[in-house]
Structure 1
Amino acid sequence: MDRRRFLRNLLSGATALALTPPLLRGTALAGDPAEFAAGLERHPWLAGWKSIGTESLGPVTAQLEGRLPDGLAGTLYRNGPAWLERGGFRYEHWFDGDGMVHGWRLGADGVTHRARMVATPKFERERAAGRFLTMAAGTTVPDAQPVRNNDDANTANTSVTMIGGRLFALWEGGSAFELAPDMLDTLGPVTWREDLAALPFSAHPLRDRDGSLWNFGAISMMGPAGMLLWHIGADGTLRGAHMLETPLPGYLHSFAMTDRHLVFVLAPFQFAEGVGAFFERLRFATDRACAVAVVDKNAPDRARWFEVDFAAVYHFGDAFEREGEIVVRAVRHADPEQARSPMREAMRGHARDGGMPSRLADLHLDLRRGRARWAAHDIADIEFPLFDPRTPGDRPARLYAPTTAGEANAPYFNAVAMLDPARGRREVHRYGADILAEEHVFVPRPGSDRPDDGWLVGTLLDAAHDRSGIAVFDARRIGDGPLAQVWLPYAFPLGFHGHFAQA
C-alpha cells in the first residue's frame, strides 16, 4: 500500500473512532473516590495510586542520606499517571490518569526535586470544566465529548525522553509533548512532519548506537491493522516514517532492538460486545498465537513474520543476535486479565490485589529456519527491566529490575535486582516491607565504555512515612546496598518510566 493511501485510511479510521458516540457515552464504570479514600486509611501503601492534588511540586532540596558518587551529575526525569480524580469521579484503570513529569537534579550541591503536570489540551479543558470530558483508555467517562484527533485525548503520562537536548513526555496513542527541561513547562505537541500530525508516537523509543531513535505507533485501536515506524535522528529531525501493514490487529506496548533488527510482538485480542473504553472491551485471545515482526533497519517498510505461543508482554529487556538467531528477553505476565488492567484493585482502594505476577522468558527467533519459541527462566515477579545499552550486540546483557523479596506490606515491588541468567548470577537489595520500588535507570559512568560500569538511580515510595525518594547504587554491587538515598517531605503517586540526562 502506498504511503498516501495508507495515511488516508488511517486518518479516516482515527476520525471514526473519535466521533463514534457509543464509545464515548454510557454508564460510568469508574471507581468511587470515597471508597478509595477509605481504603487508603486502612492501607497506607495505596498512596501509590492516590490522585495528586496540585499541578506542581517544588523546587525542594531533598534530604540526602549517604554520599552521591563522584561523576554522577544530571537530572532523572520521571513520568506517570497522577491526576486520577475530578468532580467526584475516579478513573478505574491505572493507565488513564493525566501525566506528571518529575525532575530530580543531582549534583555537587545535593539533590533538588520539582514536578509539574503536563498541560495537554485534555488536561486544560478538564481543569476548566471541573470534570473529565474525554474518553479514557480504560474507563468509560459519562457524557464524554467528541475529540478531533488523538491529541485531544492525549494524557502524556507514560514515559519521558530527551532527543537532541529537547525533553518529551510520551503516551501510547498520540504525539510526543515537548517540555522545558529546567522548569518542566509544557511547550506543546510535536509534529515531526505535517502529514503525520497527532499520529501515535509510542512511549518506548529505543536509542540506536548512533544516537538516533527508533519508535512505533500502534494504530490497531484506530481502525486499520498496522504500525507506523518512526526513525528520529540524534539531532531531533525526522529521518523516516514507514507504514508497516500487519496481518491482524495486535496489542503492543513496547518493542526490542538488536544492532540490525527491530522486533515487535503483537498479542492477539478481540473486543467484547457492548460499549466501553478500549481496555474495558479488550480481551486477549489466549488461544491464538502472537505475531512477531522482525524488521531490518535498512528496509523498515517491510517485515519478516513469525508465530509464537501467546504471551501478554508489556516490557522487554535486551535483545541480541548471533549465529542466525535473535534472542529477546521479555517479562511475560501470568494472568492476561490482570495484565489487561494492572493493579486494578489498588485503583479501587482494595487490598486484594495479587501484584503483577510475571516471569522472565527468552523469545528465540531462528532466522534461518523461520521458527520461534519461548524459553522460560526461573526468575519471577519482576517488571520494568533495563540494561546497559553499551553491551555488545552479540551477547546477553545484565538486567536491572524492581522485584519482590521477603515480607512486603503491599502487593508491589519492594526490592531491586541485578539479573544475569546467562551466568547464573543474581543480586538483590531489599528496601523493606513498607517501601514500594519503581523502575531503576542505568546511568553510565562518564569516560568509561565498559558495560555495566555505572550507577542505578531508582525511585521509591515510603508509605509508612508518607514520602517519596530515590536511591543510587553502584550497578556492579547491588547487593552492597545504596550509596545514597534521598527523601522528600512529601509523597506522590507511583509512575512508570524515566530517563537520566547527564549534565
Structure 2
Amino acid sequence: MTSEAGAEAEPAQTDHRLGFLSLERELPAVDLPVEGSFPAWLSGSLIRVGPAKFEVGTHRYRHWFDGLAMLHRFSFSAGTVSYRNRFVDSPAYRAARDTGRIAYSEFATDPCRSMFRRFVTVFRTPVNGRNTNVNVDRFGDEFLAMSETPLPVMFDPQTLSTLGVGEPAPGQLTVAHPHRLPGSTELISYATHLSAATHYQLYGRAVGDTHQRMIATLPAPRPSYMHSFAVADHFAVLVEFPLVTVPMTIPLSGRPFIENYRWRPERGTRFLVVDLETGRFEGGYRTEPFFAFHHINAFARDGDLVIDVCAYDNADIVRALYLDRLRAEDARVPEATPRRYVLPAGGGEVRTERLGELTMELPRIDYDRRNGRPYRFVYGVGSREPGDFPNQLVKTDVERRESAAWSRPGTYPGEPVFVRTPGDEREDGGVLLSIVLDPSAGTSFLLVLDAAELTEVARAWVPHRIPFGLHGQHFPAVSAPND
C-alpha cells in the first residue's frame, strides 16, 4: 500500500479530523464488500470530486478548498459495487508531484511572492493550476471537473484519466454549480470579469452549439464572493452577499484570493434578477446581510420569485474551514439553516422564512424534475447538536416545514445524492447515496438510504478512508468498468 501523507497521525484521529488528512493512494477498479442489498435497478456510476492532498513536501495548503483534487467513482451493476479513485492530473498536481512545491495559487494559499507575478496571476490567469476539486458534471459527451477558476477539466468517466480542458468561462472567476435551463439542454452559468470596470457575465451554452450565448452583463464595482446561483423558471438570480472586494487592490495586497474579501454588513444582500430569454435585468432586491455557499432551489409562484438557500448570518464559515481550525479537537463549524427569500412581483420588501428546524448544508433535490420549479423535498448534511461537526443526513419537507434525520454514532456522512427509482413518480421515490467516514474503522463506506423513509438499505465498504469531499453526480449511462 502506498504510504499516505499525515499517516503517522491517523491512529490518534477517532473523529472528524480523519477526514482532513491527505490520501495518496490511487486504486484501479475493485469490487467492494456489501452489507444489505443494493437495489438491482441501480446502475451507472456515482462520481465525486474533492480535496485529497493537503501537504506538498514540507509545504501545506491552508484551507479545505485548497487541497489537490481527486476523483472517486462508484459503479453499480445488478446489486454489485466497484470503486476506483484517481487524482486530477492538473498542472497544480504535476508541479506538486515533480517539484515537491506548491506552485499555483489556490483559494486561501498563495505561493506567489513577486508583485508582477501576482498582478499577472489575478488579472490574466488567476489560478491556472486547474485544481478542479469542487464539482463534476456532464455537458454533451464531455465529463467535467470544475472549480471557481475559468477552465474546467475534462476526464474519462471510465478510467478517471484527465483528458484536457473544456471551454473557458468569460471571466477570471466563475462558479462550479452551473444550472440547466429547465426544459432545455442549455447550461447556464456566470463569471466575474475583474478589471477597472468589473462585471458579472451571465452566459449559456446548449449541447451542439459551438459558441457560448452571452445573456447579460451586470456592473459589479465591488464584486461579491458567490459560490453558486439560482435558476427559477426562465430567470437567473445572483445573490450578492456583502462579502466583497475592491478588484484593483488585489494584485498589491500580498494576500491569497479569498483574504481580499471583506464582510460589509451595512451593504445588505442584493438579489439580481435576469430574464434568461431576453437578457433583460429585471431589477435588484435588497434585504438583511447574510451569506450562503449553496442554493437549494428557486421557482416562480404567482408572479413572485422564491429563492431557497442554506443561509448563515455572516461569512464566518469561510474562516472556519481553514485546515488548522478543522483539525482542532474542539473544532466548531457555523451551521446553516434552510431559509426562503420571496421576491415580490413588481418590487417591494423581501419576505424571509425558515424552512425547517434542522441545520443543513450541501443540499440536493430531485434536480432533473424539480430544478427551477416548485418542489417539496431537500436533502443535506447537518448536526445533531449545536456545535457538532456535521454528523447526520437531513431531509426537509419545505411545504410542511418538517424534518427527519439519519445518523450513526461516531460517523460523518457527506453530501447525499438523490437517485430516482425508475417509474416511481413520488418526488422522494428513490435512494440517497452518501460517502460516510467511519473513524473508528479507519475507513469510509458508501451508504444507500431509502429517500422516502430515510432508512438504511445497504452500504459498501471502501478499502481506505476518503477525505471529506465536496460534490458529485450520478450518471446513469456510465457503465461499470468491465461492461
Which band: TM-score by shorter chain?
Answer: 0.7 to 0.9
The question of whether the paired residues in 2 share the 8 Å contact of 1:386 and 1:440 is answered with yes
Contact map agreement 1:264 1:294 (CA 8 A) in 2: yes
Residue 436 of structure 1 corresponds to: 412
Q: TM-score, normalised by structure 2?
A: 0.87
Q: Which amino acid aligns with 1:50?
A: L
Structure 2 match to 1:23: none
CA distance in 1, matches of 2:366, 2:198: 33
Q: Indicate conservation of the 8 Å contact 1:126/1:132, yes or no.
A: yes
* Contiguous gaps of at least 5 residues in structure 1: 1-32
Deviates more, 1:366-375 or 1:122-131: 366-375
The equivalent of 1:486 in structure 2 is 460
Q: Is 1:415 aligned to residue 402 of structure 2?
A: no
Structure 1 residue identity aligned to 2:312? H
Contact 1:191 1:197 in 2 (8 A): no
* 1:336 aligned partner: 315
How does the TM-score come out when normalised to structure 1?
Answer: 0.84
Summarize the Cα distance change of 1:235–1:199 in structure 2 as closer, same or farther, 3 Å threshold. Answer: farther
Structure 1 residues 292 and 342: alpha-carbon distance in aligned structure 2, compared to 1, 3 A threshold: same
Q: How does 1:198-209 map to 2 (within 5 A)?
A: 199-209=172-182
Q: Residue 211 of structure 1: CA displacement?
A: 4.5
Are residues 1:160 and 2:133 paired? no
SS at match of 2:416: strand
What is the aligned length? Answer: 460
CA 1:441/1:321 → structure 2, altered by over 3 Å: closer, same or farther? same
What residue number does 2:339 align with? Answer: 361
- Classify the secondary structure of the residue corresponding to 1:355: coil
**Partner of 2:47 in structure 1?**
77
1:454 to 430, 433, 436: 430
- Cα deviation, 1:72-101, whole Å, max 9, x if unaligned, reads 111001011112110211111111112111
Alignment correspondent of 2:480: none
Residue correspondence of structure 1 range 112-127 to structure 2 within 5 A: 112-127=82-97
2:164 partner SS: strand
User: Paired residue for 2:23?
Assistant: 52
**Match of 1:4?**
none
The one-letter code sitting in structure 1 at the alignment partner of 2:305 is I
Amino acid at match of 2:183: D
- The DSSP-based 3-state class of the residue aligned with 1:216 is strand
Of 118-127 and 298-307, the range deviating more from structure 2:
298-307
For residue 213 of structure 1, report the CA deviation from its aligned partner: 4.1
Range that drifts further, 261-270 or 434-443: 261-270
1:213-249 CA deviation, whole Å, 9 max, x = no partner? 4333432666643222231224575451334223431
Q: Secondary structure at the match of 1:279?
A: helix
The equivalent residue for 1:465 is 441
1:284 alignment partner AA: W
Is the 1:49–1:347 contact (alpha carbons within 8 Å) kept by the matching residues of 2? no
Q: Deviations over 1:279-335 (max 9, x none)?
A: 223222122211211111102363422212111110011212111111111111244
Aligned with residue 146 of structure 2, among 170, 182, 203? 170
Q: Deviations over 1:425-483 (max 9, x none)?
A: 322111x23211111011122244442222211111111111122111221111xx211
- What SS does the aligned partner of 1:287 have? helix
2:132 aligned counterpart, secondary structure = coil
Output aligned runs, 1:19-168, within 5 Å: 41-54=12-25, 56-108=26-78, 110-141=80-111, 143=113, 147=121, 149-150=125-126, 152-168=128-144
Is the 2:268–2:286 Cα contact (8 Å) retained in structure 1?
yes
Match in the other structure for 1:300: 279
Q: In 2, are the aligned partners of 1:120 and 1:154 still within 8 Å (CA)? A: yes
1:282 paired residue number: 261
The SS at the match of 1:123 is helix
Partner-residue secondary structure (3-state), 2:399: helix
> What SS is found at the alignment partner of 2:50?
strand
CA contact (8 A) 1:37 1:349 kept: no
CA contact (8 A) 2:223 2:245 kept: no
Q: Say if 2:170 and 2:193, in contact at 8 Å, map to a contact too.
A: no
Which of 224, 229, 240 pairs up with 2:213? 240
- SS of the residue corresponding to residue 58 of structure 1 reads coil
Question: CA–CA distance in 2 between the matches of 1:270 and 1:175?
Answer: 23
Partner of residue 312, structure 1: 291
Is the Cα–Cα contact under 8 Å of residues 179 and 231 in structure 2 kept in the other structure?
yes
Sort the Cα spacing of 1:250 and 1:199 in 2 relative to 1 into closer, same or farther, 3 A: closer
**Partner secondary structure for residue 327 of structure 1:** strand
8 Å contact 1:83–1:99 — kept in the other structure? yes
CA displacement at 1:392 relative to structure 2: 8.6
Structure 2 Cα separation of the partners of residues 440 and 143 of structure 1: 40
Supply the AA of the counterpart residue of 2:42: L
User: How high is the sequence identity, in percent, across the aligned residues?
Assistant: 25
The offset of 1:271, in angstroms, is: 4.9
Compared with structure 1, are the counterparts of its residues 275 and 327 closer, same or farther at alpha carbon in structure 2 (3 Å cutoff)? same
Larger mean CA deviation between 308-317 and 150-159 belongs to 150-159
C-alpha contact (below 8 Å) 2:181/2:234 kept by paired residues:
no
CA deviation after TM superposition for structure 1 residue 393, in Å: 5.8
Residue in structure 1 matched with residue 474 of structure 2 by the alignment: 500
CA RMSD of aligned residues (A): 2.7
Task: Classify the secondary structure of the residue corresponding to 2:214.
Answer: strand
Q: 1:225 aligns with which of 185, 198, 202?
A: 198
CA-CA distance at 1:41 after TM superposition: 2.3
